[in-house]
Amino acid sequence: MRDVIVAANWKMHTTPADAGELAVTIASRTVAAGVTRVICPPFVALAAVRDALVASEAGSDVGVGAQTVHHELAGAFTGEISATMLAGLATWVIVGHSERRRDAGETDALIGRKLGRAIDAGLRPILCVGEQLAEREAGAAIPIVDAQVRGALAEVDLAAAARASLVIAYEPVWAIGTGRNARGADAAAMADAIRVSLSAVGWPDGAADVPILYGGSVTSANIGEFLAEPAIDGALVGGASLKPDEMAGIVARAGLTARARTTQR
């Protein structure tokens, strides 16, 4: 049975002075059996969040993740962070987020190199894929996402990626901060398509075991629609992840999904 995962992407919010307290507050409000929780703060707050969670009874099992990673292990890359630098600070990493694709010009090939570095360093990766509005309106959503999956995995050792327990987050870019909402059926159809893509590139033992998260303006009000879909295994939460009340509602709903899946075993 696939993991049920709720990952918080804090983006460029919080400071080392306040991130630890927020992480502990969220951890204490989101205890739910069967739900894997991950908090991804800015690089400068990784140590503060790690230390605060370790010292907290409620946060000791909350994972800490980085929001990106460089595609090289070392070198003249001012301002960048390598996978080896994250050792001890994080155990998860987001790769290929739509904002990195947009703002940093990250290509599928580059994302694939980042993915490989993360896997080699023992980090559990969350690979983000998703289409733009014009691509969806043109009926090209599935081919676009298929190309992103194939491009990112083209040079990656698939057996190693499977051992690293790769997670994929589907984030329809057109539903992020636009006021337009994706539907649960949209996300489920894309999750099915992503698993077809993984199987087509030779994912070990098929792709039924790969968790797929939904990420697109997730809130406590809409998460139920997505988690009602058996193909969806959790959420990559953006703005709402900075709000303890919102996270409490999201994780509580994820807990219902985890409980139902345990009962069905």
CATH topology of domain 125-131+143-204+214-247: TIM Barrel (3.20.20)
Distance of CA 115 to the CA centre of its chain: 13
pLDDT for the residue numbered 110:
98
Pick the catalytic residue from 70, 71, 97, 225: 97
* pLDDT per position as a tens digit, 85-127: 999 999 999 999 999 999 999 999 999 999 999 999 999 999 9
For residue 13, indicate whether it is catalytic: no
- Distance between CA 6 and CA 65 in Å, rounded? 12
pLDDT for the residue numbered 181:
77
What pTM was estimated for this model as a whole? Answer: 0.97
Domain ranges of the chain: 125-131+143-204+214-247
Mean pLDDT of 207-236: 96
pLDDT for the residue numbered 265:
65
Mean pLDDT of 201-205: 93
Burial 104-132 (b: 16+ CB within 10 A, else e): eebebebbbbbbbbbbebebbbbbbbbbb
* pLDDT per position as a tens digit, 242-257: 999 999 999 999 999 9
Mean pLDDT of 201-216: 95
Is the pLDDT confidence value at 49 over 80?
yes
Q: Are 10 and 241 in contact (CB under 8 A)?
A: yes
* Closest by Cα among 191, 118, 186 to 152: 118
pLDDT for the residue numbered 88:
96
Residue 20 pLDDT grade (very low, low, confident, very high; cuts 50, 70, 90) = very high
- In the chain, what is the greatest distance between 2 CA atoms, to the nearest angstrom? 52
Residue 264 pLDDT grade (very low, low, confident, very high; cuts 50, 70, 90) = confident
pLDDT for the residue numbered 260:
95
- Distance between CA 241 and CA 249 in Å, rounded? 11
For residue 57, indicate whether it is catalytic: no
Pick the catalytic residue from 131, 171, 225, 246: 171
- Distance between CA 169 and CA 197 in Å, rounded? 14
